[in-house]
Structure 1
């Protein structure tokens, strides 16, 4: 190939400018001319060689490349060529080498024919090339200064363009779009049938013009074979799937300390859990996790039988920020060997575009806790790849090893019935999961960070101190579901429950009836809410008026009870109706738990409020407490002594009625 050398008139690029070698000095110096302005300079050859070694000199300038005739050069290794092509290449090369060894070639018949004959005799070639062939080979080599230009390019022979017109290609493209939209498994005959119909319609609209000729089905097969893999994937699966399949994996986000970036997401676990009372499978729970990006440690999680929701997000975030306590020991002699050291408020929380992440609740809590929310682009899960990979690890390396696993694909089950093999309750799974987190996952080397997550977290503790909220009550005042309500003299109504107390008096006196206030409540306990008046920095707690009903009541349970009241046409303020509705809910949940349908049992578990916070919770009916009787007045003594002890009163007599008649 053409290269860089110390020859006069050689032009090369150096530091963004073009230079020409004007003269070579005997002492090893080179006189250079800068072509842009003609300035002359003297540079040592050793300096130019050093610059060439650093990649700062290029002899193939843009002007030279533009003026050089285009010669197709085979750029791949020669051993990829067939034996016949390699033999032909070596033959051409040996002919040129023999002729050029005799001096500057002169391409006339009188000069070249004796040389060609002598070279053929030397090689034993019975069919020597013509003078024209030798000239053509020499011109290719001389133009490119690359012997690979002599490789026979059999792949470039034949017509390079298609024989179909642009209108026919457009109809074929439309037929492919329609066929793959109807079915991702569309075949060439299906596409061909659609194309023929379009050609017939197009020719029917033509008024004396040139008619389109229908191609053969072999043409369709060839065109599909020549189509790019990306384009076929786009037609079959859509743009998002094609971009995901053919994208290049690049270096992800870099973090330098713990809690700098946390990622949150949900997934249904590939595992069936059972009800510990009935032993029936409840279904696959939904796991919400928060992952520290720097250490890949699990900051916190929330497990329930409900769908992804804002309540699940709040539960996982609360668990992530607070220090961890060991799970209740429901499986004997199975304790975690290592503590769970992760807690603290993350600086950035990366979320996707689920509805539970776009509500007012998360934005309000993030503002109160000074957490910045970062949303991923739509259909780009790689922007939070750490949590996506962790959820896959949980399912594949933990859940798939437990009895009752459903596996990731239905065909992987074979004859295995996961619901019949399910043996773990929610409380038992919680204990197993937390032990796996701290004793297994956290102690193994993570390929993404090059060390164990546990060790990475301990390393991060050396460069950052972790702060907690002032106290637990202050923290609970900042995390929960948020809404706006009007304050009236009878208090505040949230989800049909009325809240009132003396703590609302200052807000009511300052701003009047009907003022809008900010309300925060825990969806797992509706017994109390936190209320901010206009301009207030801190909330005030306000209890529910009916504590007997609202204490420890979940938002889902309250919704179900209100639905029963609406069906019965009862007023929501009727306490007896509330008690009856709650009793009916308990009975309905018990019936659902014993149902033969797994979907009903899962719904019952969600209504009961079974979660990682309350794995053993049971829904109970409200038992009305009898009102205390007023104290009786003292009876005067028969003797008239006021201070004397009263004699025992005679027991009242009563009559017992018999069935079918009266009796004494």
Structure 2
């Protein structure tokens, strides 16, 4: 077959007619709309399907026709093809009619339908009866139904009856007879379910149900891929002393995709922050010996640790922070963020959240369940009885139980067995993940930071001055990253040389250790009617912190906010002990003269 004069092609958004071939790589075309000619390469042309002599639509492909129909079409195609090769000979038409077992009119119909380019599919018989999708309503009524669906099918309360009422109203205004309920309902079945769901229940929930997920997230070995996320625990905890309901704690969880092990997590009374992320990463990467000692349960076994190759997470601000990204690059950890609106990209960690809630947390007294419908008349606050320290121990035991429970996606193995399998070679020899060279620096890398200048008076942050003799060599106007622990501002860490962190304490070491939360609360109280907070001195702030602490301790009836602040302070992470296993004392860089003035720091139970 070859291109015939008059064949139509789509070129640059318009329909052109073939005129002639100008060379081996160019043809001439004519545009009827503009009455212009052009020359182009044949490879740039797209054929336009031909229409019948009556201007009808091109033949629809019957790709779902039965095999018998395709075989009949193929037989007829071959017979007609043979006929066309010698159709001028006497008796050729009668021979064709006889071989096809058709009448003369039927044979002529097949001859008109025959298309050498289309092949047998041009002769596949159309399905008898009314074609699927045939509509008998006038076009203006169809347009009214479409407009009513678009305007009324929005939100969870949408109903087909509501759409029908809108159609009746629009038809009445247009002076037309309204279609039946069945006709309107039929139009719903013709629309994609996913589109209807997006309009009714929202983009996120509709995508959860209908969006295609052709790819699978596979990790071939432990530590290759981790996923991290925050979740609020569906259980209310109580105050340590009064045993009155306090709040729901937060958890930052990390899961190893290969083994489904939870290498680390962090529990907190405060909403997620960059500090929560730093503590969760630290807990996951480092061995858990000191942490288990702080929990006080020798039966807890937690042999999972190691530096990951990749950590995937959502787009929360703390996961996108520059500090977190630089720390990850500095420690050769690749970060991956899931596309917005596609939570299934973090399916493993989302499923872990659900497993912990459904299989463990929902059996605790004080459970809140996932919504008010499931909760019913259950009194969550009235039944609550676990303090934060008790819940922390319970949670560690629950995670251990999860590690030794068979996992459906691990072919019946437990996460612990899968982890051990990943560290066992072909000869059956067991190995362990490599240890971090400098655990202390690793953790400090991920701590929140602020840029500050090292002046002759030291470093000033939040109105507090910090000093160490080791800073004397680095006094300049250059800004450096100063790392800090929001729960304990007694020390900050700075690395001006790029070689090691220097631990810097208060200039006035007699001042008490405070958190950022306490510091801000004291400043707000002091500012009062003052025009600006700049008039508040650091001495006034620390005095107010002491007074607030005494007030909270002596108060018999505490508000939830005050109790939460007290509980958080008493359960705040003892950073040096919990994360690095080091005692809370000054570094070797700090001179011995400071030691006699240093007040012992209370180290509270770990909550990484």
CA distance in 2, matches of 1:588, 1:537: 43
Offset, 1:351: 1.5
Match status 1:441 vs 2:402 = yes
2:156 maps to 184
Q: How many residues align?
A: 475
**Local SS of the residue matching 2:240:** coil
Match of 1:391 among 328, 349, 353: 353
Rate the CA distance shift 1:106–1:376 in 2: closer, same or farther, 3 A: closer
1:544 maps to 506
2:522 maps to 561
Deviations 1:474-511 (A, max 9, x none): 34442311221123222222223211222221111xx4
Match of 1:417 among 376, 379, 400: 379
Q: TM-score, normalised by structure 2?
A: 0.68
Root mean square deviation of aligned Cα: 4.1
Q: Are the equivalent residues in 2 in contact too, given 1:593–1:605 (CA < 8 A)?
A: no
CA distance in 2, matches of 1:589, 1:174: 65
Offset, 1:578: 1.9
Q: Are the equivalent residues in 1 in contact too, given 2:263–2:285 (CA < 8 A)?
A: yes
Deviations 1:578-598 (A, max 9, x none): 223332255258759733xx5
1:39 maps to none
Match status 1:260 vs 2:224 = yes
**Local SS of the residue matching 2:481:** strand
Match of 1:400 among 359, 362, 379: 362
Q: TM-score, normalised by structure 1?
A: 0.63
Offset, 1:576: 5.1
Offset, 1:189: 4.1
Q: Are the equivalent residues in 2 in contact too, given 1:179–1:186 (CA < 8 A)?
A: yes
Match of 2:276 among 284, 306, 312: 312
Q: Are the equivalent residues in 2 in contact too, given 1:561–1:582 (CA < 8 A)?
A: no
Rate the CA distance shift 1:411–1:444 in 2: closer, same or farther, 3 A: same
CA distance in 1, matches of 2:315, 2:273: 12
CA distance in 2, matches of 1:186, 1:295: 44
2:18 maps to none
Deviations 1:115-139 (A, max 9, x none): xxxxxxxxxxxxxxxx99xx99xx9
Offset, 1:609: 5.2
Rate the CA distance shift 1:250–1:287 in 2: closer, same or farther, 3 A: same
Which structure: larger Rg?
1
Q: Are the equivalent residues in 2 in contact too, given 1:405–1:422 (CA < 8 A)?
A: yes
Match status 1:488 vs 2:462 = no
Superposed counterparts of 1:97-112, under 5 Å: none
Offset, 1:196: 5.8
Deviations 1:609-659 (A, max 9, x none): 5579899xxxxxxxxxxx99xxxxxxxxxxxxxxxxxxxxxxxxxxxxxxx
Superposed counterparts of 1:586-597, under 5 Å: 586-588=550-552, 594-595=558-559
Gaps of 5+ in 1: 1-65, 79-102, 110-130, 204-210, 616-626, 629-664
Match of 1:527 among 482, 490, 498: 490
Rate the CA distance shift 1:197–1:104 in 2: closer, same or farther, 3 A: closer
Q: Are the equivalent residues in 2 in contact too, given 1:258–1:293 (CA < 8 A)?
A: yes
CA distance in 1, matches of 2:323, 2:385: 36
CA distance in 2, matches of 1:590, 1:365: 42
Match of 1:430 among 387, 392, 402: 392
Superposed counterparts of 1:74-85, under 5 Å: none
**Local SS of the residue matching 2:377:** coil
Offset, 1:394: 0.9
**Local SS of the residue matching 1:498:** strand
CA distance in 2, matches of 1:529, 1:427: 27
Rate the CA distance shift 1:304–1:591 in 2: closer, same or farther, 3 A: farther
Gaps of 5+ in 2: 1-50, 53-57, 69-97, 426-430, 579-595, 598-608
**Local SS of the residue matching 1:365:** helix
Offset, 1:340: 0.5
Match of 2:414 among 444, 447, 452: 452
CA distance in 2, matches of 1:257, 1:547: 48
Q: Are the equivalent residues in 2 in contact too, given 1:175–1:195 (CA < 8 A)?
A: yes
CA distance in 2, matches of 1:379, 1:192: 32
Q: Are the equivalent residues in 1 in contact too, given 2:311–2:336 (CA < 8 A)?
A: yes
Match of 2:254 among 275, 290, 298: 290
Q: Are the equivalent residues in 2 in contact too, given 1:589–1:607 (CA < 8 A)?
A: no
**Local SS of the residue matching 1:382:** helix
- Say which is worse superposed, 264-273 or 363-372, in terms of deviation: 363-372
1:518 maps to 481
1:238 maps to 202
Superposed counterparts of 1:85-234, under 5 Å: 156=131, 160-165=134-139, 169-181=142-154, 183-195=155-167, 213=176, 215-218=178-181, 219-234=183-198
- Say which is worse superposed, 253-262 or 167-176, in terms of deviation: 167-176
Rate the CA distance shift 1:196–1:372 in 2: closer, same or farther, 3 A: same
CA distance in 1, matches of 2:320, 2:463: 24
CA distance in 2, matches of 1:409, 1:612: 35
CA distance in 2, matches of 1:199, 1:392: 49
CA distance in 1, matches of 2:554, 2:231: 27
Offset, 1:277: 0.9
Q: Are the equivalent residues in 1 in contact too, given 2:259–2:415 (CA < 8 A)?
A: yes
CA distance in 2, matches of 1:558, 1:335: 37
Q: Are the equivalent residues in 1 in contact too, given 2:367–2:380 (CA < 8 A)?
A: yes
Offset, 1:251: 4.5
CA distance in 2, matches of 1:162, 1:532: 78
Offset, 1:194: 4.2
Question: More relative contact order in 1 or in 2 (CA 8 Å, sep 6+)?
Answer: 2
Offset, 1:274: 1.4
2:603 maps to none
CA distance in 1, matches of 2:318, 2:529: 32
Q: Are the equivalent residues in 2 in contact too, given 1:360–1:482 (CA < 8 A)?
A: no
Q: Are the equivalent residues in 2 in contact too, given 1:487–1:515 (CA < 8 A)?
A: yes
Deviations 1:162-203 (A, max 9, x none): 5242x654554443333234x431223433454566668xx8
Offset, 1:342: 0.9
CA distance in 2, matches of 1:234, 1:156: 29
Offset, 1:324: 0.8
CA distance in 2, matches of 1:468, 1:539: 20
Match of 1:354 among 316, 337, 343: 316
